[in-house]
Amino acid sequence: MMRIRIAPKRGFNFDYVMWLFTRLSALAMYLLAFIGIVGALIMGARQSMNLADLMRWAFMPEVTHVQNTNVADVNAWKSTFWQGMGILFVFVASAHGLHGLLNVVEDYLENPIVRKILRYLVIGVLVVMNAIAIYVILHS
Protein backbone atom coordinates (compact mmCIF):
# COMPACT_ATOMS: atom_id res chain seq x y z
CA MET A 1 0.00 0.00 0.00
CA MET A 2 1.36 3.39 -0.99
CA ARG A 3 1.91 6.01 1.66
CA ILE A 4 0.00 9.22 0.94
CA ARG A 5 2.00 12.36 1.47
CA ILE A 6 -0.04 15.29 2.68
CA ALA A 7 0.54 18.52 0.80
CA PRO A 8 2.19 21.18 2.94
CA LYS A 9 0.28 24.27 3.97
CA ARG A 10 0.70 27.38 1.89
CA GLY A 11 3.03 30.09 3.04
CA PHE A 12 6.38 30.15 4.77
CA ASN A 13 7.05 26.67 6.20
CA PHE A 14 9.84 24.10 6.37
CA ASP A 15 9.04 22.50 3.00
CA TYR A 16 9.14 25.90 1.31
CA VAL A 17 12.45 26.75 2.99
CA MET A 18 13.96 23.44 1.81
CA TRP A 19 12.61 23.99 -1.73
CA LEU A 20 14.17 27.45 -1.70
CA PHE A 21 17.44 26.09 -0.28
CA THR A 22 17.73 23.61 -3.15
CA ARG A 23 17.34 26.35 -5.75
CA LEU A 24 19.64 28.82 -3.99
CA SER A 25 22.37 26.24 -3.34
CA ALA A 26 22.38 25.32 -7.03
CA LEU A 27 22.76 29.00 -7.91
CA ALA A 28 25.52 29.32 -5.30
CA MET A 29 27.43 26.45 -6.93
CA TYR A 30 27.19 28.19 -10.31
CA LEU A 31 28.37 31.45 -8.73
CA LEU A 32 31.31 29.77 -6.98
CA ALA A 33 32.35 28.00 -10.21
CA PHE A 34 32.13 31.31 -12.10
CA ILE A 35 34.30 33.03 -9.48
CA GLY A 36 36.79 30.17 -9.76
CA ILE A 37 36.99 30.46 -13.56
CA VAL A 38 37.30 34.25 -13.55
CA GLY A 39 39.83 34.18 -10.73
CA ALA A 40 41.95 31.59 -12.51
CA LEU A 41 41.85 33.55 -15.75
CA ILE A 42 42.88 36.73 -13.93
CA MET A 43 45.77 34.83 -12.31
CA GLY A 44 47.13 33.81 -15.71
CA ALA A 45 45.46 30.49 -16.46
CA ARG A 46 44.91 31.61 -20.08
CA GLN A 47 48.54 30.93 -20.95
CA SER A 48 49.30 28.01 -18.64
CA MET A 49 46.19 25.79 -18.35
CA ASN A 50 44.09 23.84 -20.77
CA LEU A 51 40.30 23.91 -20.52
CA ALA A 52 40.07 20.65 -18.54
CA ASP A 53 42.48 21.92 -15.87
CA LEU A 54 40.65 25.24 -15.71
CA MET A 55 37.29 23.52 -15.17
CA ARG A 56 38.78 21.21 -12.55
CA TRP A 57 40.10 24.30 -10.75
CA ALA A 58 36.76 26.09 -11.06
CA PHE A 59 34.78 23.31 -9.41
CA MET A 60 37.38 22.58 -6.72
CA PRO A 61 40.03 25.26 -6.25
CA GLU A 62 42.69 22.96 -4.81
CA VAL A 63 46.38 23.66 -5.43
CA THR A 64 47.11 20.10 -6.58
CA HIS A 65 44.94 20.87 -9.62
CA VAL A 66 47.49 23.50 -10.61
CA GLN A 67 50.73 21.64 -9.88
CA ASN A 68 50.43 19.43 -12.97
CA THR A 69 49.93 22.37 -15.33
CA ASN A 70 52.37 24.88 -16.82
CA VAL A 71 51.83 27.39 -14.00
CA ALA A 72 55.26 28.64 -12.99
CA ASP A 73 54.50 29.73 -9.41
CA VAL A 74 51.88 27.72 -7.53
CA ASN A 75 52.24 29.66 -4.27
CA ALA A 76 49.72 32.28 -5.39
CA TRP A 77 47.19 29.47 -5.83
CA LYS A 78 47.63 28.33 -2.19
CA SER A 79 46.04 31.43 -0.68
CA THR A 80 43.49 31.46 2.11
CA PHE A 81 40.92 32.85 -0.33
CA TRP A 82 41.14 29.79 -2.58
CA GLN A 83 41.08 27.44 0.41
CA GLY A 84 37.96 29.21 1.65
CA MET A 85 36.39 28.94 -1.80
CA GLY A 86 37.11 25.22 -1.84
CA ILE A 87 35.62 24.68 1.61
CA LEU A 88 32.57 26.78 0.74
CA PHE A 89 32.06 24.81 -2.48
CA VAL A 90 32.30 21.51 -0.57
CA PHE A 91 29.72 22.67 1.98
CA VAL A 92 27.26 24.00 -0.59
CA ALA A 93 27.57 21.00 -2.92
CA SER A 94 27.36 18.41 -0.16
CA ALA A 95 24.37 20.09 1.51
CA HIS A 96 22.63 20.32 -1.87
CA GLY A 97 23.29 16.66 -2.57
CA LEU A 98 22.28 15.64 0.96
CA HIS A 99 18.96 17.39 0.60
CA GLY A 100 18.30 15.62 -2.70
CA LEU A 101 19.20 12.24 -1.21
CA LEU A 102 16.97 12.83 1.80
CA ASN A 103 14.10 13.70 -0.55
CA VAL A 104 14.56 10.35 -2.27
CA VAL A 105 14.59 8.59 1.11
CA GLU A 106 11.40 10.39 2.17
CA ASP A 107 9.60 9.68 -1.11
CA TYR A 108 10.44 6.03 -1.66
CA LEU A 109 10.81 4.40 1.75
CA GLU A 110 7.67 3.67 3.69
CA ASN A 111 9.06 2.26 6.93
CA PRO A 112 9.62 5.20 9.33
CA ILE A 113 12.33 3.37 11.26
CA VAL A 114 14.35 2.68 8.09
CA ARG A 115 13.87 6.30 6.97
CA LYS A 116 15.14 7.59 10.31
CA ILE A 117 18.17 5.25 10.26
CA LEU A 118 19.03 6.28 6.70
CA ARG A 119 18.62 9.97 7.55
CA TYR A 120 21.15 9.67 10.36
CA LEU A 121 23.46 7.54 8.22
CA VAL A 122 23.41 10.08 5.39
CA ILE A 123 24.05 12.97 7.78
CA GLY A 124 26.92 11.02 9.39
CA VAL A 125 28.48 10.34 5.99
CA LEU A 126 28.11 14.03 5.13
CA VAL A 127 29.91 15.10 8.29
CA VAL A 128 32.75 12.61 7.78
CA MET A 129 33.19 13.46 4.10
CA ASN A 130 33.17 17.21 4.81
CA ALA A 131 35.80 16.72 7.52
CA ILE A 132 38.00 14.74 5.12
CA ALA A 133 37.52 17.36 2.39
CA ILE A 134 38.45 20.21 4.73
CA TYR A 135 41.53 18.33 5.89
CA VAL A 136 42.65 17.74 2.30
CA ILE A 137 42.03 21.37 1.31
CA LEU A 138 43.89 22.82 4.29
CA HIS A 139 46.84 20.39 4.29
CA SER A 140 47.72 20.01 0.64
Per-residue pLDDT tens for 25-62?
Answer: 999 999 999 998 888 888 877 777 788 888 888 887 77
The whole-number pLDDT of residue 92 equals 94
Distance CA 58, CA 66 (A): 11
Q: Hey, where are the domains in the chain?
A: 14-139
- Specify the pTM: 0.78
Q: What are the percentages of helix, strand and coil residues in the chain, rounded to 5?
A: 75, 0, 25
CA distances from 61 to 26, 34, 79, 132 (A): 18, 12, 10, 16
CA 69 to chain centre: 24
- Write the DSSP symbol of residue 43: T
Q: CATH classification of 14-139, choosing from 1.20.1300, 1.10.3470, 3.30.310, 1.20.120?
A: 1.20.1300
